Amino acid sequence: MRLLFLVLLFLQCSFANVLSAKDAFKLDILANEQALILKFNIAKDHFLYHNQLKIKLNDKDLTALINYPQGEIKQEQKVYFHLLELALSNLMLDDYVENDSKLSIWYQGCSNDGFCYAPQKREFRIFKEGQIYKTSPYETMQSEEEQIAFSLKNENLALILLSFFGYGLLLSLTPCTLPMIPILSSLIIAKGGTKPSKKQGFLLSLIYVFFMSLAYALAGILASFLGASIQALLQQTWLLVGFSLLFVFFAFVCFSGFNFELPKSLQSLIQHKTSKTKGVLGIALMGFLSALIVGPCVAAPLAGALLYLADSGSFLLGGLALFTLSFGMGVPLLFVGLGFGFLKPGFWMQRIQIFFGFVMLVMALWILSRIIPSNLIMLAYGILGVFFVVFMGLFERACNGIQKVKKAFLILILAYSLMLFLQGIFSINSSLNFNQKEVERQTLSFKTLQNLTQIKEIIEKEEKVLLYFTASWCEYCKILDAKVFSDERIIAKFANYEKIKIDVSENSPLQLEIMKEFNVFAPPVLIFFDKGERRDKITGYITSDELLKRGL
């Protein structure tokens, strides 16, 4: 632990001089009675490219009308070091400034160390007061993750890590992290036996959370290199199937210790495999994999972290921040470990382990639900529920009040399981004669595109455009499709939009290129454009009522 901290601290210090684009090329606008002065303060060992400068006032390109200083030649290109001042004369502005005019400035630069920044764009409102033209930042609605990323840029390391720890606590309240609780609980029982102490439970939880945090840190570091969502890359079908089989394996481990009559060969295999993962290795492996695959939802704090490190270039700081975020997200899991210290051993512990065995099977189905039709998953849940109540003693005699209450709950679970089973059967039968056209009339109709050039052309051509990034494995996308986009109010509000759906299920190079272009790390994401300009961006799930307040 101490060695890891020293290595990270050393590497962080090594890369601490990497500046963000706004710090490397600080742009100020000064005004006097003769002109507006665009003043670029260029950081030491950085430079701006002359041919990447572009200035527009509304729709008028002023780039060729400006007098430029001599500059220097670097690699056969004209560049500017230290300071660049460009004057927009009042005589020029008088010809083009109208009410609510917009001044747009494009620029790009690099550092002498070989690090180049993405093209930058700044926008300002320009207006006249007396004889002087003044400017103010052009207000565009920032997405939630962009606000988070912006708030981090001027903070020191301690405040950044503290902020991400707070974001992690918020993430721990989202539904996506809840599956980790039964996973960890079953592992503690499996590793600690029927008498896990408070200290043992806490240490196992700490190992789980630590390696889960390492996985998030690794995802953040890799994201700075790849420019795309690490979690999205890990939503491949073969990985989902493999991980669901791993949950089935853990379920068999829970069952096999209590006379669950498996074939002798399978029992021998389970005992052989589990004997190899005694100690911390199995917990560490599950913590690492759980972070990467079981927690695929990208809420605004995590998306903001990825956007921050992608923009700043400080990938090691981003890795530390994501580690802290994940550790904050794991705080409830540490309390789970402490809770096991209060458990008293007894016969009921056998039922607890059987319970967690079924939880593991539920988790396997939950993972497969991203690639298997929902009606089949519903049918499987119903069948699993029936087996659960039988194994938990539904047909055993109730001798006291507590057992009667337990039996009552089991009867309710049985009723719900039968309902799921019947709904699954009904859904399968209904789907055979389903009229797809009727559904299309009741939901938002999107045009599916996978060509970045076509998407850009539509954004420039159409007055209002809505981009919807989705994927077949995206949980919240399914809810958006089923509940939000079928809302009559939503259909009416976005009726005059050009609606484009971008499916990123396969994470192909073409899809990753589109995601990188629009700063999308993982679905669902909604981006709104008005006359070619981006006005709003929504990351993650949003309700119908909230969506009605957004957009244009």
Measured distance CA(227)–CA(230) in Å, rounded: 9
pLDDT interval class at 466 (50, 70, 90): very high
Measured distance CA(367)–CA(380) in Å, rounded: 13
pLDDT interval class at 280 (50, 70, 90): low
Residue 530 phi/psi, 5° resolution? -130, 115
pLDDT at 53: 93
Residue 255's CB is within 10 A of a number of other CB atoms, namely 21
**Is 60 exceeded by the pLDDT of residue 223?**
no
Tokens 């498996």 — which residue? 262
pLDDT at 357: 75
* Residue whose C-alpha is closest to residue 514's, from 235, 237, 227: 227
Tokens 């695959």 — which residue? 293
Residue 451's identity, in one-letter code, is N
Pick 508 or 57 by higher pLDDT.
57
pLDDT at 196: 60
pLDDT at 435: 47
For residue 46, give the 3-state DSSP assignment: strand
Pick 135 or 428 by higher pLDDT.
135
Of 226-235, 474-483, 512-521, the one with minimum mean pLDDT is 226-235
pTM for the model: 0.43
Pick 343 or 347 by higher pLDDT.
347
pLDDT interval class at 260 (50, 70, 90): very low
pLDDT at 338: 73
Kindly state the tokens that stand for 33: 């009675």
Give pLDDT tens digits for 423-465. 878 766 655 554 444 444 477 889 988 888 899 999 988 889 9
Using a pLDDT cut of 90, give the percent of the chain over it. 8
Pick 390 or 145 by higher pLDDT.
390
What DSSP string describes 313-369? --HHHHHHHHHHHHHHHTHHHHHHHHHGGGPPPSTHHHHHHHHHHHHHHHHHHHHHT
Helix (H) or strand (E) holding 37: strand 35-42
pLDDT at 162: 81
**Is 70 exceeded by the pLDDT of residue 228?**
no
* Residue whose C-alpha is closest to residue 15's, from 433, 387, 309, 415: 309
Tokens 């007055």 — which residue? 463
The number of residues in the chain equals 552
Report yes or no: 92 and 65 within 8 Å, Cβ to Cβ: yes
3-state secondary structure 482-550: HHHCCCHHHHHHCCCCEEEEEECCCCCHHHHHHHHHCCCCCCCEEEEEECCEEEEEEECCCCHHHHHCC
Q: How many CA atoms lie within 13 A of 14 on its CB side?
A: 8
pLDDT at 7: 38
pLDDT at 450: 85
Pick 114 or 252 by higher pLDDT.
252
Helix (H) or strand (E) holding 465: strand 464-470
Report yes or no: 175 and 303 within 8 Å, Cβ to Cβ: no
Measured distance CA(321)–CA(305) in Å, rounded: 8
In CATH, the architecture of 441-548 is 3-Layer(aba) Sandwich (3.40)
Residue 455's CB is within 10 A of a number of other CB atoms, namely 19
Report yes or no: 299 and 171 within 8 Å, Cβ to Cβ: yes
**Is 80 exceeded by the pLDDT of residue 238?**
no
Mean pLDDT, to the nearest integer, of 287-313? 53
- Sequence spans of domains, the chain: 21-139, 146-346, 373-434, 441-548
Q: Does domain 21-139 have CATH number 2.60.40.1250?
A: yes
Kindly state the tokens that stand for 400: 């006291």
pLDDT at 352: 65
CA 234 to chain centre: 12
- With a CB cutoff of 8 Å and minimum separation 6, the contacts of 285 are 211, 277
pLDDT at 3: 40
Measured distance CA(427)–CA(430) in Å, rounded: 5
Most confident range (mean pLDDT) of 113-117, 293-297, 300-304 is 113-117
Pick 44 or 142 by higher pLDDT.
44
Mean pLDDT across the chain, nearest whole number?
73
Measured distance CA(327)–CA(282) in Å, rounded: 19
Measured distance CA(160)–CA(158) in Å, rounded: 5
* Residue whose C-alpha is closest to residue 512's, from 308, 305, 225, 228: 228
* Residue whose C-alpha is closest to residue 114's, from 179, 22, 178, 18: 18
* Residue whose C-alpha is closest to residue 283's, from 217, 202, 359: 202
